[in-house]
Structure formats: C-alpha cells, structure tokens
Amino acid sequence: MAVLLVSPPSFSPAERFYIPCNEIPLNLCYIAAYLERAGIKTDILDLDVESDGFSFTEYLEVTRPSVVGFTSFSPFIERAA
C-alpha cells in the first residue's frame, strides 16, 4: 500500500482569499510519520512548491498511490475537492 498526502496550492488569482503557506505542511508530516511507523509507504506533495509545468495527473499515473489524502484551509475547500 502507498499513500499520497497532498497540500493544494494556497493562492489563485481568481480567489479573493490568500493564506501564505511558507511553512512545511506539518499536519501532513505528522500523518506521514504515523503511517510510515506502521509500515505504509507515504509521500507528501506540496503544490505550493511545484513548478508551473507540473501535472498532478501525470504524477498520479507514475506513482500510482493506493490512497490520496488532501488537506486544505477552509477558504480553499472547494478547490481541494
């Protein structure tokens, strides 16, 4: 089993909310540490630091995780969904 934990981008010009995310997504790090201790391979994908040419779909096709989890601030919940 492989788990992918995703932090969506925190800024979009079309949205009026902006929450600066210059920090490591510690919430995902805590979950990843727990899962890895249980023997589950876990990756974290922080979309705030990916380049403009990054394709989430291509990433999923290459890594083929069993489970994908997302985190989000309340103003960005629709984009995360």
- The 10s digit of each residue's pLDDT in 2-48 is 999 998 877 655 556 555 656 788 999 999 999 999 999 999 998 88
Q: What does DSSP assign to residue 9? A: -
Token pair listed for 65 = 């995780």
Q: What is the pLDDT of residue 49?
A: 83
Q: What is the pLDDT of residue 15?
A: 58
41/74: higher pLDDT: 41
Name the amino acid, one letter, at 47: L
Q: What is the pLDDT of residue 31?
A: 97
Residue 44, helix vs strand vs coil: strand
Maximum pairwise Cα distance, the chain: 41
Q: What is the pLDDT of residue 78?
A: 77
